[in-house]
Amino acid sequence: MDWHIKRLTPERAGDFLYFFDNVAFCDNPSWADCYCCFFYFADNAVWGKREGAENREYAAELIEKGELNGYLAYDGKAPVGWLNGDDKTAYPRIMEHPDIPHDEGKKTASLVCFTIDHTRRGQGMATALLNAACDDFALRGYDLIEAYPRRAPKTAAENYYGPLTMYQNAGFTTTAEKEEFTIVQKPLK
């Protein structure tokens, strides 16, 4: 495939917003209001009241401050895929989740959302994003990378954490089985 992956920066905010405005949820419009802000809210009641325009503005603010991070996949100059990945402590929804333990002694990255252009799924883009994230977090001195694939997604949309087999093929091991998800980790050192 002729695509490349770049880390999200404030200079690429326009690409991120274009992707979420026009590409990310073409086949799942009921999730189009997210703008990948879901993990920045631990309280479902607060999250449930938010509108798309509000999340779009919030995402732009977070990107500008360097607080919404991840990786964009491009085909030429067009963004066609996204992986939200950052320091685990950046995500209130993860940090406050009662079923997700925290190892204070390890610098841990979390991967929380893959969004791939629906016309490009099944071509290895999510795996390429995963590999790029692992390489980048290792270069930045992280000890560990962690993800939370769903145990039984009912739709492709519900598989936004990425499939368990993709993580297993990339060298992740299961550290915990929860009712709705599995916790997988990969050492980076």
Sign of the dihedral defined by the CA atoms of residues 26, 82, 114, 166, in that order: positive
For 111, the domain range is: 3-187
Q: How many CB atoms lie within 10 A of CB 140?
A: 12
Residue 52 CA: distances (Å) to CA of 3, 21, 94, 159:
28, 10, 22, 21
Instruction: Say what the pLDDT of residue 153 is.
Output: 87
Domain count, the chain: 1
Helix (H, G, I), strand (E, B) or coil at 22: helix
Model confidence, pTM: 0.95
Q: How many helices (H) and strands (E) does the chain have?
A: 6, 7
Tens of pLDDT along the chain (189 residues) come to 578 999 999 999 999 999 999 999 988 888 899 999 999 999 999 999 999 999 999 999 999 999 999 999 999 999 999 999 999 999 999 999 999 999 889 999 999 999 999 999 889 999 999 999 999 999 999 999 999 999 988 887 788 999 999 999 999 999 999 999 999 999 998
What distance in Å separates the CA atoms of residue 109 and residue 14, rounded to the nearest whole number?
Answer: 25
| Token couple for 22 | 């026009």
Instruction: Say what the pLDDT of residue 30 is.
Output: 86
**Tokens 């799942």 appear where?**
28
What is the number of alpha carbons within 13 Å of residue 63 lying toward its C-beta?
24
CATH number, position 100: 3.40.630.30
**Tokens 């495939």 appear where?**
1
